[in-house]
């Protein structure tokens, strides 16, 4: 490939007393989503970086997005590491911000970021060796799985936010845009997921997309174009310090890429999402075996034995990734 690919990951140390005090100072609206589970630290960040070192040594730079927090084990002199504070790209009048939706919407504005980049959350881990072509094709098109799926309201989910995305998306796109690129939306590599797309196409409006909640491959210039079109909508979310039911999120840029036909199809088996619980045997087996190239270990508030599960997770990571990365002192 003749272009660079950066990784972007945002992180917060929810155990930091100084940060907790700041959060409490600005938390005034009881309707805001500021649950501790949104900020609880499983202390797995060092394994995220170890996985990058081991499985994606080709990455150009890792942009580490933080709120003036850096782990004491981090080697900040690593030439591939770029530490980005919220103030570096989020308007000053919106700071401080505790809303991950707001933090991620403006990542295209991060100074120096490459045209091609991959967005991670700190619970999205590389789980096996990956190549640049797992994220972008040789022409620079983002790799993705274009599966349509109706957004179904579900407790402890973000479907209310993805529905907000769709309200905007339906102003600019329709079923016709899917039909125009049908060869990208119906693929053998999508397997049974094709049924969701076929069912959704019965309706003239767009009911939603299958959100795999894994990495998202993005183009900076294409995000810039979306910002030009819906800046007012995006800024409303950026201005909210805490997550709100009125938010839109970074998935809107993914939807825009899909409906514009600006993506290269990827098998749905590339990554796997798991909600953590008090029984994580399936997720931990995947982590141990590397069955999927990307794995998501999403925190949930109904974990009764958090300390036990955290210890088990660390044990598996130590077996899988025992060596310090170049990002560690």
Task: Please say whether the dihedral angle defined by the alpha carbons of residues 159, 43, 218 and 141, taken in this order, is positive or negative.
Answer: negative
pLDDT for residue 302: 78
pLDDT single digits (tens) 157-175: 788 899 999 999 999 999 9
Q: How confident is the model at residue 306 (pLDDT cuts 50, 70, 90)?
A: confident
261 pLDDT more than 60: yes
Number of compact structural domains in the chain: 1
177 in any annotated domain: yes
326 in any annotated domain: no
pLDDT for residue 29: 62
Q: How confident is the model at residue 305 (pLDDT cuts 50, 70, 90)?
A: confident
pLDDT single digits (tens) 35-49: 555 566 789 999 999
pLDDT for residue 167: 96
> What distance in Å separates the CA atoms of residue 117 and residue 131, rounded to the nearest whole number?
13
Q: Average of pLDDT values for 239-260?
A: 96
Contact, 148 vs 185, CB < 8 A? yes
Q: Average of pLDDT values for 225-237?
A: 98
325 in any annotated domain: no
φ, ψ of residue 11 in degrees (nearest 5): -150, 150
The two tokens of residue 290 are 């590397």
160 in any annotated domain: yes
In terms of Cα–Cα distance, which of 291, 292, 293, 296 is closest to 273?
296
pLDDT for residue 41: 77
pLDDT for residue 104: 98
pLDDT for residue 132: 98
**Sheet holding 294-298: strands in order across?**
124-126, 294-298, 271-275
CATH number at residue 278: 3.90.550
pLDDT for residue 68: 93
Domain that holds residue 87: 5-320
329 in any annotated domain: no
92 pLDDT more than 60: yes
pLDDT for residue 228: 98
86 pLDDT more than 80: yes
pLDDT for residue 37: 54
Contact, 270 vs 214, CB < 8 A? yes
Position with higher pLDDT, 27 vs 286: 286
Query: Which residues lie below 8 Å from residue 232, measured CB to CB, with a gap of 6+?
Result: none
H or E element that contains 10: strand 5-10
pLDDT single digits (tens) 265-301: 999 999 999 999 888 999 999 999 999 999 999 988 7
pLDDT single digits (tens) 109-127: 999 999 999 999 999 999 9
pTM for this model (two decimals):
0.95
pLDDT for residue 307: 87
């Amino acid at each position: 490939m003749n272009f660079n690919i950066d990784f972007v990951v945002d992180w917060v140390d929810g155990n930091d007393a100084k940060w907790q005090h700041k959060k409490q100072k600005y938390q005034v609206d009881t309707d805001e989503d500021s649950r501790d589970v949104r900020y609880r630290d499983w202390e797995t960040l060092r394994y995220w970086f170890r996985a990058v070192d081991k499985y994606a040594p080709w990455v150009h730079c890792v942009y580490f997005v933080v709120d003036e927090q850096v782990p004491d084990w981090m080697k900040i002199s690593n030439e591939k590491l770029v530490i980005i504070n919220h103030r570096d790209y989020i308007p000053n009048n919106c700071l401080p911000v505790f809303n991950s939706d707001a933090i991620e919407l403006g990542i295209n504005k991060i100074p120096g970021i490459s045209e091609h980049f991959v967005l991670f959350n700190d619970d999205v881990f590389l789980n096996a060796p990956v190549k640049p072509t797992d994220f972008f094709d040789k022409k620079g098109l983002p790799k993705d799985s274009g599966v349509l799926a109706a957004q179904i309201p579900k407790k402890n989910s973000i479907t209310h936010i993805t529905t907000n995305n769709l309200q905007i998306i339906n102003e600019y796109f329709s079923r016709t845009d899917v039909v125009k690129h049908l060869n990208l939306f119906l693929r053998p590599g999508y397997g049974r997921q094709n049924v969701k797309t076929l069912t959704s196409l019965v309706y003239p409006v767009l009911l939603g997309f299958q959100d795999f909640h894994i990495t998202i491959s993005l183009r900076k210039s294409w995000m810039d174009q979306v910002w030009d079109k819906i800046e007012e909508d995006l800024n409303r979310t950026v201005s909210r310090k805490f997550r709100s039911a009125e938010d839109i999120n970074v998935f809107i840029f993914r939807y825009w890429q899909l409906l514009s036909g600006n993506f290269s199809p990827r098998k749905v088996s590339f990554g796997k999402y798991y909600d953590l619980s008090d029984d994580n045997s399936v997720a931990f087996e995947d982590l141990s075996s590397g069955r999927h190239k990307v794995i998501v270990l999403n925190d949930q508030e109904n974990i009764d034995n958090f300390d036990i599960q955290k210890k088990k997770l660390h044990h598996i990571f130590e077996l899988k990734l025992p060596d310090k990365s170049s990002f560690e002192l």
